[in-house]
Amino acid sequence: MSEVEITGIVALYIFMLAGFTGYEIISKVPVILHTPLMSGSNFVHGIVLVGAMIALGHAEGFLEQTIGFLGVILAAGNAVGGYVVTERMLEMFKSSEGK
């Protein structure tokens, strides 16, 4: 468990505020950015890597360690793969003046 205790009601506050934040960020996006943005948000939940590292970090015994190990591999794939494809797509968006 963590050192900073996040109690139920505080977690609910975080859920609520973060939920509105996500909604507000996306609500005015032009269609041309839908694909890169989906890819970008896919990258952002790659933060699961931190959780997977912590889970493996206190895993004991073969089964826990194996699953934790797989979890970290998958999470790292999510973060790195998500970053590279998003960056590759956005790198190409140029305006007429930009050249």
Within residues 58-87, the interface with other proteins by CB under 8 A covers: 58-61, 63-65, 67-87
- Is position 9 an interface residue for other proteins (rule: CB under 8 A)? no
- Is position 91 an interface residue for other proteins (rule: CB under 8 A)? yes
Structure tokens of 63? 């089964």
**Total residues at the site for other proteins (CB under 8 A)?**
88
**Residue 74: which of 44, 56, 49, 42 has the closest Cα?**
49
Query: Which CA distances in Å does 36 have to 9, 30, 33, 82?
Result: 34, 11, 5, 10
Could you tell me the smallest distance in angstroms from the CB atom of residue 39 to other proteins? 5
**Residue 36: which of 75, 77, 88 has the closest Cα?**
88
Site string for other proteins, 18-57 (x = CB under 8 A): xxxxxx-xxxxxxxxxxxxxxxxxxxxxxxxxxxxxxxxx
Could you tell me the smallest distance in angstroms from the CB atom of residue 10 to other proteins? 9
